Amino acid sequence: MIESKNISFSYGKNQILENVNFQAEKGSITYLAGINGSGKTTWIKCAAGLLKPSCGEVLFDGMPFYKIREYFAICFDTPPVYKNMSCIDNLFVLYDVDYKEDRVQEMLEKMGLSNYILTHPAGKLSFGQRHRLGIAGAILRKPRYLILDEPDLGLDPVAWESVKTEIMDLKRKGTAIIMTGQNFVQLEEVINHVSLLSQKRIIADMPMEEFKQRYGKDEEKVSLKQAFLNAAG
């Protein structure tokens, strides 16, 4: 379980997060929702130990980040790469993933990253390929805690299907997953919990169906997007 306990953070005098509380259970996918600039990425950086919150902490099964580092994986919205290194080297250096393992090669093949692409410098990848590499790197770490910042970004439907399959597989194995993103149609296929970040706080934290019902304004078949618009608006 990933637990955000009273996280507050500010850049100078600009307060971004204020007592952010929510939980992401094991074997579930939590959608950390929010409009642009609501502080989602800042929260992710706090969770990953890159920023120190002014108060509060993010716990992973009751433990701080540095104790569970090897069971944690993350994919940023723009995955970093060393441009003059091959994709294989990038996977090793950034995600601690060894290409020699059979399962790694199989998975990369499934993600549409052929051997040809992988041996070339990462700087030559398209945005979509780079994103696939980042997601593959995160998933291949076999994490217990996974954070995906806009995983649908730049992915074609075929690549998204592969990513979705892998994410659902991790979910079945009990990984606690937190996702952000703006493609509601694709997200609705995988998530089962929504935590809505608005005006520095979590204003809604509930299962997706409940979220849709509560913010659906009594409509019979309300979409996640409509519920989000109603809640965030």
Q: Which residues bind other proteins (CB under 8 A)?
A: 45-46, 48-53, 64-67, 69-70, 72, 74, 76, 78-85, 89, 92-98, 101, 140-142
C-alpha triplet 159, 161, 164: angle, nearest 5° = 110
Dist. CA 43–CA 158, nearest whole Å? 30
Give the β-pairing of 29-33 and 176-179.
parallel
Ramachandran bin of 206, using left for φ above 0, alpha for ψ from -120 to 50, beta for the remaining angles: beta
Task: Pick between residue 45 and residue 132 the one whose CB is nearest to other proteins.
Answer: 45
Task: Pick between residue 47 and residue 197 the one whose CB is nearest to other proteins.
Answer: 47
CB of 137 to other proteins, least distance (A): 9
Task: Pick between residue 143 and residue 181 the one whose CB is nearest to other proteins.
Answer: 143
C-alpha triplet 195, 199, 201: angle, nearest 5° = 45
Task: Pick between residue 50 and residue 185 the one whose CB is nearest to other proteins.
Answer: 50
CB of 152 to other proteins, least distance (A): 20
CB of 42 to other proteins, least distance (A): 10
List, as one string, the DSSP characters of 3-39: EEEEEEEEETTEEEEEEEEEEE-TT-EEEEE--TTSS
Task: Pick between residue 96 and residue 210 the one whose CB is nearest to other proteins.
Answer: 96
CB of 27 to other proteins, least distance (A): 21
CB of 47 to other proteins, least distance (A): 9
Side-chain half-sphere of 94: how many Cα atoms within 13 Å?
23
